[in-house]
Amino acid sequence: MSDTIFSKIINREISADIIFEDDISLAFKDVNPQAPIHFLVIPKKPIATINAITEEDRLVVGHLFYVAAKLADEMGFAEEGYRTVMNCNEFGGQSVYHIHLHVLGGKLMGWPPYTDKPKALE
């Protein structure tokens, strides 16, 4: 758990385009952007999935949204709007097991957010 790629980014063992950091969180640009603006806000505490969030983590997880909104405001796309996504496990499309809030902006988002038939309906 502690050696996911995101822990390595927190520890500066691998590089990332970091746009914000505080005691609780780190935000950096997604290496494979899915929108003109696409960054991730992660807790420094390694929490594997949404399912692993404990009662004591509630303020940490809420902080991720606070940081997302603060950066959207500072970067100038808060008013036009944006999408936040946190994927959970296989069916949610999670690939890195350290929770992260995707922040996507700079284009009009579609809904529903998937393009393929969900596995659950196959």
Residues serving a catalytic function are 100
Interface with ligand 5GP (CB under 6 A), residue from 26, 28, 37, 101: 28
Three-state secondary structure readout of 88-112 = CHHHHCCCCCCCCEEEEECCCCCCC
Task: Tell me how far, at minimum, the Cβ of 93 lies from ligand 5GP, in Å.
Answer: 5
Q: Is the dihedral of CA 23, 24, 30, 33 positive or negative?
A: negative
Q: Which of 30, 62, 25, 59 is nearest to 45 (CA)?
A: 25
Closer CB to ligand 5GP, 5 or 69, in the complex? 5
Task: Tell me how far, at minimum, the Cβ of 22 lies from ligand 5GP, in Å.
Answer: 18
Q: Are strands 101-105 and 37-43 parallel, antiparallel or unpaired?
A: antiparallel
- Residue 115 engages ligand 5GP in binding (rule: CB under 6 A): no
Site for ligand 5GP in 78-107 (CB under 6 A): 87, 93-96
- Residue 31 engages ligand 5GP in binding (rule: CB under 6 A): yes
Q: Which residues pair with 25 in a beta bridge?
A: 43
Q: Catalog residues that contact ligand 5GP under the rule CB under 6 A.
A: 5, 16, 28-32, 87, 93-96
